[in-house]
A and B are shown apart, each in its own frame.
Chain A
Amino acid sequence: MEVTLSVNGEPVTRDVEARLLLVHFLRDELGLTGTHWGCDTSNCGSCVVLYDDEPVKSCTVLTAMAGGHDVRTVEDLEQDEVLDPVQQGFMECHGLQCGFCTPGMLMSARALLDRDPDPSEDVIREAISGQICRCTGYASIVRSVRWAAVHPEGRSEA
């Protein structure tokens, strides 16, 4: 079936199987492999993308359902070679080790800061609670998001 949706601000139309999950569409059809896929049970959150501006697990949405909607992936965070403050924050505060969970974490962090520019640690922990990180123990992720909150313009000394 033919599906048209917006991905990172660009309309895309593809002929897909109705059963195709959005995560596989992004990775395999569009080559946007920044969005990761880590489980079959909707638990890990490495597939989180923004769907009409809110975090959603792209492994639990059919591409067909996303027709007519706006999807934003981690590839869209960097603009004109400037990292998004959340990306910069993960760099400054060691918010990642292996990086597998990072795209989902970044997208949830971006959505959180768009709604609440100054979230407390507890609010950050709640916002990323649907996402598993097996490396960092989360503390550095929380610090990274706080860094982004304190530096809404991103890196200034460049």
Chain B
Amino acid sequence: MQVPAPIEYERATSVEHAIGLLTRLGDEARLIAGGHSLLPMMKLRLANPEYLIDINDLHGQLSYIDIGATRVRIGAMTRHRELLESVALAEVCPIFRDAERVIADPPVRNRGTLGGALCQADPSEDLSSVCTTLDASCVIRGRDGERVVSMDDFHRGPYETAVRHDEMLIEVRIPMRPHGSSAYAKVDRRAGDWAVAAAGAALWLDEHGTIADARVGLAAVGPNTTGIPAISEALRGRAPGEDAWTEAAAIAEAACRPVTDSRGSADYKRHLAGELTRRTLRTAWERVVAWR
């Protein structure tokens, strides 16, 4: 039976309190949000913090989905289930509902949080790709105030983010642009499993129906593929359609670096990266057109 090593536990009563505890306790302290990445790692002794600072009492304060004309703000403690069930969020960013439907399973989604998912930065984790695709930025708070970093700067690589040990992710901000939509698609072996491969796409059209901008992010196919900037460059100014999606798919296949494991061979995952890029771009475009 696997159980975590002995720990000290304290509940944060405010963001300031949490940051104060992190500062005072140093490297050996970790925040625990949903705990659905951290506790499994502690059972495996892959993570061995001495102190856990429980931030679940901040759920009331840090779980919100605030949809404005120019941006969407989502609190770091917003749980997967809240993201899945928000009709208003699905209207402006359908990629969230697409992704949340296939992230883990209902009991896990009742606990896991947006902030925990992004800070875990697991290479197979879905929301980092979603947020990168949406060109989101992250609000990080520390002793000396807040800083805002883009997802590209936030997500440093597998299990590594821009959040320092005495800082906390507070909020994710997503810019809203007109005539855009988004989609996510994932292939998994069975319900609730991590992705064999997954892709997210967002697309914006100009007034002539040409692609003003497009973004694609991948999950589970190698480090640093949560965004594929070359696809944006190739698609800007193009006419939407199968030729454009095929070119984007080829770029995704070339850019990813999957490894063979129990979920599938590298070749299969590479094929999926391309095919899912094609499908999500197509869906995002169909959604923009359906809206107009």
Q: Which chain A residues have a beta carbon within 8 Å of chain B's beta carbons?
A: 1, 17-21, 24, 40-43, 45, 48, 51, 54-57, 60-62, 64-65, 108, 126-127, 129-131
5 tightest A-B CB contacts, nearest first: A130-B105, A18-B9, A40-B2, A129-B191, A19-B4
B236 at the interface (CB under 8 A from A): no
Q: Main SS of chain A's interface residues?
A: loop
What are the residues of chain A within 8 A of B7 when measuring CB–CB? 18-19
B111 at the interface (CB under 8 A from A): yes
Q: What mask results when residues 2 to 46 of chain B are scored 1 for a CB within 8 Å of chain A, else 0?
A: 111111110000000000000000000000100110011011100
Known: A19-B4, A130-B104, A130-B107. 9 other contacts (CB 8 A): A19-B6, A40-B43, A40-B44, A42-B108, A55-B107, A55-B110, A62-B35, A64-B54, A108-B107
Could you list 15 examples of A-B contacts with CB < 8 Å? A18-B6, A19-B3, A19-B5, A24-B3, A40-B43, A41-B40, A42-B108, A56-B107, A56-B111, A60-B39, A61-B111, A65-B56, A108-B106, A129-B105, A130-B192
Closest to A19 in B: B4
| Minimum Cβ distance to chain B for residue A137 (Å) | 14
Task: Let me know if B32 and A65 touch, CB within 8 A.
Answer: yes
Closest to B34 in A: A60
Evaluate whether A48 and B107 lie within 8 angstroms (CB atoms) in the complex, with A18-B7, A65-B32, A65-B35 already known: yes
Which of A41, A61, A62 has the largest count of B CB atoms less than 10 A from its CB?
A: A62
What are the residues of chain A within 8 A of B56 when measuring CB–CB? 65
